[in-house]
Every structure is written in C-alpha cells, then in structure tokens.
Amino acid sequence: MIKNNFNNIIVKGKLVNDRTGCKHYHSSADVIAIKFKCCKDYYPCYYCHQEVADHESKKWEKNELHTKAILCGVCKSEMTIEQYLTCNYQCPFCHTQFNPNCSRHNHLYFELVSGVNLIQRI
C-alpha cells in the first residue's frame, strides 16, 4: 500500500502520481480521491480500497450529501458529496476537469434512489 499526504490528508491505495491517480485509473483527468464511509479513509478508487482495506466498503447515504468526502488531487481541496455530484465534473475550486466516466462508478460509492443516482434527486 502506498500512502501520499495531500495537505495533511492521507490517500491510501495503489497511487502512481501526486494527483491521486492510481494503477487502475491514471489518465490526466483521474484526479479525485473518495473518502470511504466505512473507514473514513481516502482512496483513489473502489479497486484500491478493495485491494488494500481489510473490510467491505459502505455507500454514502442520501442524508450525508453535505459530508466532505471528495478530494481534488490537483488543488487538494475537499468538497462535499453534493458539490462533487453537481460540479459537472469540474473542480469548483481550481476548475480542473474531472473524468466524466467516473459517473459509471457512482453506484459503488453513493446510495441510489429507485435505481436513479442521487445527482438526479438533488
């Protein structure tokens, strides 16, 4: 396991750069880390958590949208789940473009409501 320090925030996982890219996702747009509800630790992706953590992951629930749980790997700012889900895949602080394909994995991190992602309910 590799740990990198981002403004006193530890990101765990299989990191390959200082922008939260990991061995699974490392394009120039793969620049976020997600705080996992189960352990409150940041990981670049679900696979990193699965490979490194010794427990199952848990999804953030709809009533936890105001929790700071997303880290921009470029400016190192934390954002709430709601900020992330409504930012149109661009950091609200430094305006770096995030990978829009990350939306394919939202169901791994965030509770779904009747098969619809939280973003559509905000």
Domain membership of residue 72 as a residue range: 2-121
Quick one: which of 84, 104, 100, 74 has its CA closest to 34?
84
pLDDT of residue 51: 95
pLDDT of residue 116: 45
Number of domains in the chain: 1
Q: What's the one-letter identity of residue 99?
A: N
pLDDT of residue 8: 82
Residue 85 confidence class, pLDDT cut points 50, 70, 90: very high
3-state secondary structure at position 99: coil
Q: Give pTM, 2 decimals.
A: 0.87
Q: From CA 87, how far away is CA 107, in angstroms rounded?
A: 17
**Does 3 have pLDDT greater than 90?**
no
